Structure 1
Amino acid sequence: MSSDVSALTGGPMRERLTAAAARLVASGGAATLSVRRVASEAGTSTMSVYSQFGSMDALVDAVVDDGFDRLESRFVAIEPTDDPIGDLGRQTAAYVDHARENPELYAVMFGVARVGSHQAVTPDELAVGRAGTLDRVGATLQRAVEKKRLREAGGSALAFRWWTIAHGYAMLEGSGYVTREKGPIRILAPLLIDFVVGEGCPRRGAEQSIRRALDLPLP
């Protein structure tokens, strides 16, 4: 048995291939991803890819998982405070930063960019496999409800309303329709403020919490 094949039974080779695939997506987009290119980037053989993942779809899933792991690590780094509205602003900033710094990976994560016939994340897959990452924002919103900063909306309604804002803004900024310099103060902050005000938060407190979280001048 060759040394290359014997290495296939351990985790490091799988991690190496996933990292190589993520680098290809990040540098050249979903169109650059192929078994041969991933193997070359990882310095191994195409046999390694098939032995570890079995198919291209499984490799893409691993890349998507890596993207959600990176996003979750940003959320984990945000220590909860007594101001859940400010925490929500910081989580929003972390989400947007993730999309800014990993635009190609972000597009694959949410099925915006497809790898061949593979749609990276279907709604069912997101609900079952990767919702834990976004549930961290849901937990922050629930704390805001418990502290009477927001009204109870039932189920995941608040989280989906927040996600519509964060994802929509990230996509518009990533596409160049919104500039990174002016977008946060002209668009993102007002959207977040109006969102929490509409869900029951007094405007004055909402403006202070959100603007402070986004490092913007206070009104």
Structure 2
Amino acid sequence: MDPEAKAPRSVRDELLLAAVGLLDEHGPDALQTRRVATAAGTSTMAVYTHFGGMPDLIAAVADYGLAQFDLALDVPDTDDPVADLLTCGGAYRHFAIRRPHLYRLMFGSTSAAGVRAPARDIQTGEPERDLHPSLIHLVRLVRRCITAGRMRGDATDNREVMTIAGQFWAMTHGFVMLELAGFFGDDGAAVGPVLGGLGMHVLLDLGDEPAALQASAVAAQLRA
């Protein structure tokens, strides 16, 4: 459950949200026991009482971020699954750009207080269960695209669906990380020609028709 939705909030919730706020505003170096406790209006002992220490609090921050990411990627379904897939990709990037420190922590590409968020091995999960939230959405959307005849493949073959979803995941995450690092500037100008262009090539290679794909791209752009 989202601790921000609780009223009144518990001390644990206050600590978690204080840590999230510090991370968003100041980056991972701000996740220190005293700073979190002060921001939450409590004592440093509360961090140990409710989390056992900063490593578990940092893990809870990452879990909070994953839950928020899940909500951000839950785009409404339309009768065009390819447009929905492209829209999900846009929502993915928007979250990362809006909350870069949280995004990096969620994926283990940065650490706070020398602690990295626990990694998740997607190979041990099953589609629609126990997977990284961003991959869960992609698996579902890829399955819809295959079922609708917009991609080649067998929608009942979990390994094939996971492989295709993993391709889109790697493509989007790779672009986002490069953008966050400043390699594509800070104005979003590379999104269309680089990420969008690559996505179009992948979808065509997977069997979509050019005219249908173009229509889906326009529909997704109108929803952005």
TM-score when normalising by structure 1: 0.86
Q: Distance in 1 between matches of 2:118 and 2:150?
A: 33
Q: Does 1:206 align with 2:209?
A: no
Q: Distance in 2 between matches of 1:208 and 1:190?
A: 15
Q: Is the 8 A contact 1:88 1:137 kept in 2?
A: yes
Deviation at 1:160, TM superposition (A): 0.8
Q: Deviations 1:115-173 (Å, cap 9, x if unpaired)? A: 24422142438966652443022101100011111122714101110011110111121
Q: Distance in 2 between matches of 1:215 and 1:110?
A: 29
Q: Is the 8 A contact 2:66 2:133 kept in 1?
A: no
Deviation at 1:18, TM superposition (A): 0.9
5+ residue gaps, structure 2, are 1-7, 154-158
TM-score when normalising by structure 2: 0.84
RMSD of the TM alignment (CA)? 2.2
Instruction: Give the count of matched residue pairs.
Output: 206
Residue in 1 that maps onto 2:149: 148
Q: Distance in 2 between matches of 1:107 and 1:28?
A: 13
Residue in 2 that maps onto 1:113: 110
Cα separation, partners in 2 of 1:215 and 1:127, compared to 1, 3 Å = farther
Which one-letter code corresponds to 2:110 in the other structure?
A
Q: Distance in 2 between matches of 1:66 and 1:123?
A: 15
- Off by >4 Å, runs of 4+ in structure 1: 125-130
Residue in 1 that maps onto 2:48: 50
Q: Is the 8 A contact 1:189 1:214 kept in 2?
A: no
Deviation at 1:33, TM superposition (A): 0.8
Q: Does 1:185 align with 2:192?
A: yes
Q: Distance in 1 between matches of 2:211 and 2:198?
A: 15
Which one-letter code corresponds to 1:157 in the other structure?
T
Residue in 1 that maps onto 2:182: 176
Which one-letter code corresponds to 1:119 in the other structure?
R
Q: Deviations 1:9-58 (Å, cap 9, x if unpaired)? A: x9622221111111111112112211111101111111111111112221
Residue in 1 that maps onto 2:136: 135
Cα separation, partners in 2 of 1:132 and 1:97, compared to 1, 3 Å = closer
Deviation at 1:207, TM superposition (A): 2.6
Identity %: 30
Residue in 1 that maps onto 2:87: 90
